[in-house]
Structure 1
Amino acid sequence: MSSEDSNSASMLNGHVQYAKGYAQEVIGNATGSQEWQESGKSATQAGIDEMKTANQQKISEPAASGFGGRVEELAGKAAGCEGMEAEGKERQEKV
Protein backbone atom coordinates (compact mmCIF):
# COMPACT_ATOMS: atom_id res chain seq x y z
CA MET A 1 0.00 0.00 0.00
CA SER A 2 1.01 3.58 -0.46
CA SER A 3 3.23 5.05 2.24
CA GLU A 4 1.32 8.31 1.85
CA ASP A 5 -2.02 6.80 2.81
CA SER A 6 -1.86 3.33 4.30
CA ASN A 7 -5.65 3.22 4.62
CA SER A 8 -6.20 3.42 0.87
CA ALA A 9 -5.96 0.31 -1.24
CA SER A 10 -4.57 0.69 -4.73
CA MET A 11 -5.65 -1.35 -7.73
CA LEU A 12 -2.24 -0.87 -9.35
CA ASN A 13 -0.37 -1.91 -6.20
CA GLY A 14 -2.64 -4.93 -5.94
CA HIS A 15 -1.76 -5.94 -9.48
CA VAL A 16 1.94 -5.50 -8.79
CA GLN A 17 1.67 -7.61 -5.63
CA TYR A 18 -0.26 -10.27 -7.53
CA ALA A 19 2.33 -10.40 -10.32
CA LYS A 20 5.17 -10.57 -7.81
CA GLY A 21 3.50 -13.46 -5.99
CA TYR A 22 2.79 -15.28 -9.23
CA ALA A 23 6.45 -14.99 -10.24
CA GLN A 24 7.62 -16.25 -6.85
CA GLU A 25 5.30 -19.22 -7.05
CA VAL A 26 6.51 -20.09 -10.55
CA ILE A 27 10.13 -19.94 -9.36
CA GLY A 28 9.24 -22.08 -6.37
CA ASN A 29 7.54 -24.64 -8.59
CA ALA A 30 10.49 -24.70 -11.00
CA THR A 31 13.07 -25.11 -8.25
CA GLY A 32 11.00 -27.24 -5.90
CA SER A 33 11.35 -24.62 -3.15
CA GLN A 34 8.38 -24.92 -0.79
CA GLU A 35 9.36 -21.60 0.81
CA TRP A 36 9.13 -19.73 -2.52
CA GLN A 37 5.85 -21.47 -3.36
CA GLU A 38 4.27 -20.46 -0.04
CA SER A 39 5.65 -16.93 -0.26
CA GLY A 40 4.24 -16.62 -3.77
CA LYS A 41 0.82 -17.87 -2.74
CA SER A 42 0.75 -15.43 0.16
CA ALA A 43 1.79 -12.46 -2.00
CA THR A 44 -0.71 -13.41 -4.71
CA GLN A 45 -3.54 -13.55 -2.17
CA ALA A 46 -2.44 -10.21 -0.68
CA GLY A 47 -2.61 -8.69 -4.16
CA ILE A 48 -6.09 -10.10 -4.75
CA ASP A 49 -7.25 -8.79 -1.37
CA GLU A 50 -5.88 -5.32 -2.11
CA MET A 51 -7.55 -5.23 -5.54
CA LYS A 52 -10.88 -6.23 -3.96
CA THR A 53 -10.55 -3.54 -1.31
CA ALA A 54 -9.57 -0.91 -3.87
CA ASN A 55 -12.55 -1.84 -6.02
CA GLN A 56 -14.87 -1.47 -3.03
CA GLN A 57 -13.36 1.89 -2.09
CA LYS A 58 -13.59 3.19 -5.66
CA ILE A 59 -10.55 5.36 -4.99
CA SER A 60 -8.02 3.28 -6.80
CA GLU A 61 -8.54 4.41 -10.38
CA PRO A 62 -5.36 6.13 -11.52
CA ALA A 63 -5.53 9.35 -13.45
CA ALA A 64 -5.93 9.08 -17.20
CA SER A 65 -2.53 8.66 -18.74
CA GLY A 66 -1.56 7.31 -22.12
CA PHE A 67 1.93 6.35 -20.97
CA GLY A 68 0.86 4.94 -17.60
CA GLY A 69 -2.00 3.12 -19.27
CA ARG A 70 0.34 1.56 -21.80
CA VAL A 71 2.69 0.39 -19.03
CA GLU A 72 -0.25 -1.11 -17.15
CA GLU A 73 -1.52 -2.80 -20.31
CA LEU A 74 1.89 -4.35 -21.05
CA ALA A 75 2.37 -5.42 -17.42
CA GLY A 76 -1.05 -7.07 -17.54
CA LYS A 77 -0.09 -8.95 -20.70
CA ALA A 78 3.21 -10.05 -19.16
CA ALA A 79 1.55 -11.21 -15.95
CA GLY A 80 -1.37 -12.83 -17.74
CA CYS A 81 -3.82 -10.56 -15.92
CA GLU A 82 -6.64 -9.65 -18.27
CA GLY A 83 -8.12 -7.16 -15.79
CA MET A 84 -4.90 -5.18 -15.55
CA GLU A 85 -4.53 -5.25 -19.33
CA ALA A 86 -8.10 -3.97 -19.80
CA GLU A 87 -7.61 -1.20 -17.22
CA GLY A 88 -4.48 -0.05 -19.03
CA LYS A 89 -6.36 0.15 -22.32
CA GLU A 90 -9.17 2.06 -20.64
CA ARG A 91 -6.75 4.60 -19.15
CA GLN A 92 -5.24 5.18 -22.58
CA GLU A 93 -8.65 5.80 -24.13
CA LYS A 94 -9.52 8.43 -21.49
CA VAL A 95 -6.59 10.63 -22.51
Structure 2
Amino acid sequence: MSDKNNASLLGGHAQYAKGAVEETIGNVTGSQAWKDSGVHDKQEATETMRAANQRSCECPVISSGTEKKIGHAVGCQGMVQNAQGKERRQ
Protein backbone atom coordinates (compact mmCIF):
# COMPACT_ATOMS: atom_id res chain seq x y z
CA MET A 1 0.00 0.00 0.00
CA SER A 2 1.34 3.42 -0.82
CA ASP A 3 2.02 6.04 1.83
CA LYS A 4 -0.91 8.04 0.46
CA ASN A 5 -3.26 5.10 1.08
CA ASN A 6 -1.88 4.65 4.60
CA ALA A 7 -2.38 8.35 5.29
CA SER A 8 -5.94 8.17 3.94
CA LEU A 9 -6.80 5.14 6.03
CA LEU A 10 -5.25 6.53 9.20
CA GLY A 11 -6.80 9.94 8.57
CA GLY A 12 -10.18 8.30 8.07
CA HIS A 13 -9.87 6.44 11.37
CA ALA A 14 -8.91 9.65 13.17
CA GLN A 15 -11.78 11.58 11.56
CA TYR A 16 -14.24 8.83 12.52
CA ALA A 17 -13.08 8.93 16.15
CA LYS A 18 -13.39 12.74 16.12
CA GLY A 19 -16.92 12.44 14.77
CA ALA A 20 -17.86 9.90 17.42
CA VAL A 21 -16.62 12.25 20.14
CA GLU A 22 -18.48 15.22 18.63
CA GLU A 23 -21.68 13.23 18.37
CA THR A 24 -21.34 12.11 22.00
CA ILE A 25 -20.82 15.71 23.12
CA GLY A 26 -23.95 16.66 21.21
CA ASN A 27 -25.92 13.87 22.84
CA VAL A 28 -24.72 14.80 26.32
CA THR A 29 -25.24 18.56 25.91
CA GLY A 30 -28.29 18.39 23.68
CA SER A 31 -26.51 20.42 20.99
CA GLN A 32 -27.87 19.53 17.56
CA ALA A 33 -24.91 21.30 15.91
CA TRP A 34 -22.43 18.99 17.67
CA LYS A 35 -24.52 15.94 16.78
CA ASP A 36 -24.77 16.97 13.13
CA SER A 37 -21.04 17.71 12.93
CA GLY A 38 -20.24 14.31 14.41
CA VAL A 39 -22.52 12.46 12.01
CA HIS A 40 -21.05 14.38 9.07
CA ASP A 41 -17.46 13.63 10.12
CA LYS A 42 -18.25 9.94 10.57
CA GLN A 43 -19.86 9.75 7.11
CA GLU A 44 -16.89 11.46 5.44
CA ALA A 45 -14.47 9.25 7.35
CA THR A 46 -16.31 6.12 6.24
CA GLU A 47 -16.06 7.24 2.61
CA THR A 48 -12.35 8.01 3.01
CA MET A 49 -11.63 4.62 4.59
CA ARG A 50 -13.71 2.79 1.99
CA ALA A 51 -11.78 4.48 -0.84
CA ALA A 52 -8.43 3.69 0.80
CA ASN A 53 -9.46 0.07 1.30
CA GLN A 54 -10.53 -0.26 -2.32
CA ARG A 55 -7.03 0.77 -3.38
CA SER A 56 -5.50 -1.84 -1.09
CA CYS A 57 -6.74 -4.29 1.52
CA GLU A 58 -3.71 -4.17 3.77
CA CYS A 59 -2.63 -1.46 6.18
CA PRO A 60 0.76 -2.40 7.67
CA VAL A 61 0.80 0.68 9.89
CA ILE A 62 -2.08 -0.50 12.10
CA SER A 63 -2.09 -4.06 13.42
CA SER A 64 -5.34 -5.97 13.19
CA GLY A 65 -5.57 -6.15 16.99
CA THR A 66 -5.15 -2.41 17.39
CA GLU A 67 -7.61 -1.67 14.61
CA LYS A 68 -10.18 -3.99 16.18
CA LYS A 69 -9.80 -2.37 19.62
CA ILE A 70 -10.14 1.14 18.18
CA GLY A 71 -13.14 0.04 16.14
CA HIS A 72 -14.89 -1.33 19.21
CA ALA A 73 -13.99 1.77 21.25
CA VAL A 74 -15.42 4.27 18.76
CA GLY A 75 -18.23 2.08 17.48
CA CYS A 76 -16.87 1.67 13.95
CA GLN A 77 -18.02 -1.72 12.71
CA GLY A 78 -16.06 -1.23 9.48
CA MET A 79 -12.79 -1.07 11.41
CA VAL A 80 -13.68 -4.24 13.30
CA GLN A 81 -14.57 -6.07 10.08
CA ASN A 82 -11.42 -4.85 8.34
CA ALA A 83 -9.30 -6.12 11.26
CA GLN A 84 -11.04 -9.49 11.19
CA GLY A 85 -10.35 -9.71 7.46
CA LYS A 86 -6.65 -9.04 8.07
CA GLU A 87 -6.58 -11.79 10.71
CA ARG A 88 -8.12 -14.31 8.31
CA ARG A 89 -5.53 -13.45 5.63
CA GLN A 90 -2.59 -13.89 8.01
TM-score norm. by structure 1 comes to 0.67
Shift of 1:70: 1.2
Matched with 1:91 is 86
Matched with 2:59 is 62
Matched with 1:24 is 22
Q: What are the residue-to-residue correspondences of 1:44-59 with 2, within 5 Å?
A: 44-56=42-54, 58-59=55-56
TM-score norm. by structure 2 comes to 0.69
RMSD after superposition = 2.7
Three-state SS of the structure 2 residue aligned to 1:62 is coil
Higher helix share: 2
Gaps of at least 5 residues in structure 2 are none
Matched with 1:75 is 70
Change (3 A) 1:69 1:55: closer
The one-letter amino acid of 1:21's match is G
**Equivalents in 1 of 2:35, 2:56: separation in Å?**
31
Shift of 1:10: 2.5
- Determine what percentage of the aligned residue pairs are the same residue: 39
Three-state SS of the structure 1 residue aligned to 2:60 is coil
